């Protein structure tokens, strides 16, 4: 049996899933857990699924943007799992991954970055951008669907724009990782890449907006 492992530590807590041909074998979500619990969570998932770590052949980890500590811990953990060469390591931008939660191509992912700033992912770019500029961009692009985290969903100006434009609003709970399985099969290297060493995504300030790296 060849299995896939997906890990997301870029958002709140830890979301980990084991999948066979895109179908869930076991999923764990601990919203309050931190990196030191990753080994325990993986062991529990393997035991629940009644499979061995050797059955896992591919590992996908989210690269951010998101929690600095969570990203570093999650990526290092997955690199350790793949260090032996027994399994392949894949990295995916959290913003691109979350766009898979919405079928609408004219959608955008909005994550809270810090006071007054959003992380924004569209079909063509990923940005660290002031809230006001983000809202203007959404209106200009006539965004039809928003995938947001809870902190962004509480932003009154964003709520007003969603109501004004009658857009769809999808609030991510932090545990939705099953849709990420599709990225194992993607051929576009800008969406998912096999790598021996991967780095988390941060941002660089450039004038009024930042480009995520």
pLDDT at 1: 81
Dihedral angle, C-alpha 169, 67, 211, 176, nearest 10 °: -40
| Residue 101 to residue 213: CA distance in whole angstroms | 23
Question: How high is the pLDDT of residue 210?
Answer: 54
Domains of the chain, earliest start first: 3-94+174-200 (3.30.420.40), 102-171 (3.30.420.10)
pLDDT of residue 179: 93
Q: Where are the alpha helices (DSSP H) in the chain?
A: 38-49, 68-82, 94-99, 131-141, 150-153, 156-165
Q: Are strands 56-62 and 3-8 parallel, antiparallel or unpaired?
A: parallel
What confidence score (pLDDT) does residue 197 get? 46
Mean pLDDT per 10-residue interval, the chain, length 213 residues: 93 93 94 89 96 95 88 90 86 92 93 94 93 96 96 96 96 93 64 43 50 51
Give residue 200's pLDDT: 58
Residue 200's φ and ψ, nearest 5 degrees, are -70, 160
**Burial letters for 20-54: b for 16+ Cβ neighbours within 10 Å, e otherwise?**
beeeebbbbbbeebebeebeebbeebbeebebeee
DSSP, res 92: E
Give the integer Cα–Cα distance in Å for 199 and 213: 9
Measure the CA–CA gap between 152 and 139, rounded to whole angstroms: 16
Q: Quick one: pLDDT at residue 199?
A: 54
Maximum distance among all Cα pairs of the chain, rounded to whole angstroms:
53
Tokens representing 58 are: 């591919």
User: Can you count the helices (H) and strands (E) in the chain?
Assistant: 6, 13
CA distances from 105 to 25, 93, 143, 145 (A): 29, 17, 9, 9
Check residue 33 and report its DSSP letter: -
How much of the chain is helix, strand and coil, in % rounded to 5?
35, 30, 35
Both tokens of residue 168? Answer: 């769809």
Indicate the pTM of the whole model.
0.86
Q: What is the reported pLDDT for 190?
A: 32
């Amino acid at each position: 049996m060849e299995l896939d492992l997906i890990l997301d530590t870029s958002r709140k807590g830890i979301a980990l899933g084991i999948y066979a041909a895109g179908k869930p074998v076991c999923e764990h979500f601990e919203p309050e857990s931190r990196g030191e619990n990753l080994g325990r969570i993986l062991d529990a998932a393997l035991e629940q699924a009644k499979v061995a770590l050797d059955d896992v052949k591919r590992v996908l980890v989210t690269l951010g943007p998101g929690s600095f500590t969570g990203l570093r811990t999650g990526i290092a953990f997955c690199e350790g799992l793949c260090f032996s060469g027994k399994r392949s390591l894949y990295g995916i931008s959290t913003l691109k991954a979350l766009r898979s939660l919405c079928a609408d191509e004219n959608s955008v992912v909005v994550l809270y970055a810090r006071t007054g700033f959003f992380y924004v992912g569209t079909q063509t770019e990923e940005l660290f951008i002031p809230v006001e500029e983000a809202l203007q961009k959404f209106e200009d692009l006539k965004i039809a669907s928003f995938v947001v985290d809870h902190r962004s969903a509480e932003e009154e100006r964003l709520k007003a724009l969603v109501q004004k434009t009658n857009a769809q609003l999808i609030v991510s709970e932090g545990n939705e990782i099953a849709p990420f399985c599709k990225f194992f099969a993607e051929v576009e290297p800008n969406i998912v890449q096999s790598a021996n060493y991967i780095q988390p995504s941060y941002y660089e300030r450039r004038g009024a907006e930042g480009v995520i790296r």
